[in-house]
Amino acid sequence: MNRYCVKVAGVAQQGAGYNLILRVPEQTARLIRQQAVADVELGIDDGRFISVQQRRKIYATLRDIAEYTGYPDEDMKQIMKVEHVMRCGCDMFSLSDCSMTTAREFINTLMEYALKEGVILTESGLQRTDDIDTYLMQCIRYRKCCICGRPADIHHVDTIGMGNDRRKVDDSEYRKMCLCREHHTMWHNLGDERFQKMYKVYGIVIKDQLPPGDNISHKSP
C-alpha cells in the first residue's frame, strides 16, 4: 500500500455524512484517476504517534538516499531501520504507529547518514530535520553546509578576534555553524540577524576542541 501525506482543504456535509476535500499533488491525483481508486485509509494525528509531517520527512529522505545508493525504496527503508536499531539499541518499529520520539530519532539517523555520505537532498536539510540542534551539530561534525548540504567550513558566529591564531584558540565557548562558501558570503552580505531570520538557523556551542588545522572561517571584525 502506498502512503501519501496530503492537506485537508475542506469538509462539506452531504446528507447524513460528510465529504472530505483533499489537496494532493498532481502526480497523486493522476494515479488516483488512472487506477480508479475509490477506497483509502485515513489516519489522523492525535499527538501521540508519528505525525504526518514526520512521516513525510522520513519517506522523502529515504527516497533521496535510495536514489543515491541505487537501492529500491522499500529495501532502503528496511536497511535504514536496521541501522537505526543497531545504532540506538531500540526495538524494531513501524512507521505507521511508532511514537513521535522514535520518529524524531529515526529522522536524526537518516539525516546523519545523508550528511556523512554526501547525499544531496531534494530540499534543504532544515526542512527535513525534526531536531534542529542535532542537525546543526551533525553538519559541523561532517563539515556540510547546514543550508544546502554541500561541503563546508566551520563559521564562527562569535568572532575569534584579530591577531589570534585560530588554530590554537580554544573555541569551545564560541557559537559556530557550518556554511559553504556561497552561504558564508551571503551571511556577511546580509548580516547575522537577517541571515538567521531568513534561514531560521543559529550558532551552537560544542565543548570539544576542534582538531588543529581545520579550515575555519569567521566573521569579519
Residue 43: the pLDDT is 61
Q: Report the alpha-carbon angle 192-195-198, nearest 5.
A: 145
Buried/exposed code over 42-56 (b: 16+ C-beta within 10 A; e: otherwise): eeeeeeebbbeebbb
* Predicted local distance difference test score (pLDDT) of residue 99: 93
Residue carrying the nine cell digits 446528507: 15
pLDDT value of residue 74 = 95
Give a three-class secondary structure readout of the chain: CCCCCCEEEEEEEECCEEEEEEECCHHHHHHHHHCCCCCCCCCCCCCCECCHHHHHHHHHHHHHHHHHHCCCHHHHHHHHHHHHHHHHCCCCCCCCCCEHHHHHHHHHHHHHHHHHHCCCCCCCHHHHCCCHHHHHHHHHHHCECCCCCCECEEEECCCCCCCCCCCCCCCCCCEEEEECHHHHHHHHHHCHHHHHHHHCCCCEECCCCCCCCCCEEECCC
Q: How far apart are CA 185 and CA 66, in angstroms?
A: 32
144 - beta bridge partners? Answer: 151
Q: Quick one: pLDDT at residue 212? A: 39
Confidence at residue 199, expressed as pLDDT on a 0 to 100 scale? 93
**Amino acid making up residue 141:** R
Quote the pLDDT of residue 168: 59
Q: Mind listing the pLDDT tens digit of every residue in the chain (221 residues)?
A: 555 556 788 888 787 778 888 787 777 777 788 878 877 766 665 558 999 999 999 999 999 999 999 999 999 999 999 999 998 888 999 999 999 999 999 999 999 999 999 999 999 999 999 999 999 999 999 999 999 999 999 888 877 654 555 555 666 677 889 999 999 999 999 988 899 899 999 988 876 544 433 433 333 32
Do the beta carbons of residue 71 and residue 18 sit within 8 Å? Answer: no
Return the closest-CA partner of residue 37 out of 24, 48, 47, 46.
Answer: 24
Q: Which pLDDT score is estimated for 210?
A: 45
Q: What is the pTM of this model?
A: 0.70
